[in-house]
Amino acid sequence: MFHKIKSVSALPEYKLSVEFSEGVTKIYDVEPLFVRIPVFNKLKLYPEVFSSVIVDVGGYGIVWDDELDISCEELWENGISEDKLIEELKLGEISGEEQGYIGIRESKSRLGL
């Protein structure tokens, strides 16, 4: 089953906020790809390219250019649900960096985004 992507936003520290058509939003960390797949280092060298991420046609992945893309299944399987991050925050098991991402979500919600 494909988990189609509705929207994507670049976050600090090479993280992505990915909203799926089911209404679930996950945070995906791109940084490990810099080691596993060297072509992704382009995103580290050119932050403006990282910020240009868009949803691919049909919602089956995200793309930066003709060389760089990530499938919807990779994002779904390896992203961390924002709801899980919030639960960890309540339990005191979350880092300050992750707290910042939750703040972004809450701010978007208040603005109706």
Q: 72-84: per-residue pLDDT in tens?
A: 999 999 999 987 7
Residue 88: what pLDDT? 64
Residue 60 burial (CB count, 10 A):
15
Residue 37: what pLDDT? 95
Query: Which residue stretches of the chain have pLDDT < 70?
Result: 86, 88-113
Residue 75 burial (CB count, 10 A):
20
Q: In the structure encoding, which two tokens stand for residue 84, read together?
A: 């899980």
Taking the alpha carbons of 109, 99, 29, 73 in that order, is the dihedral positive or negative?
A: negative
Contact (CB, 8 A) for 11 and 17: yes
Ranges of each domain in the chain: 5-81
Contact (CB, 8 A) for 95 and 101: no
Residue 107: what pLDDT? 41
Say which CATH topology domain 5-81 has.
Answer: NE0471 N-terminal domain-like (3.30.2020)
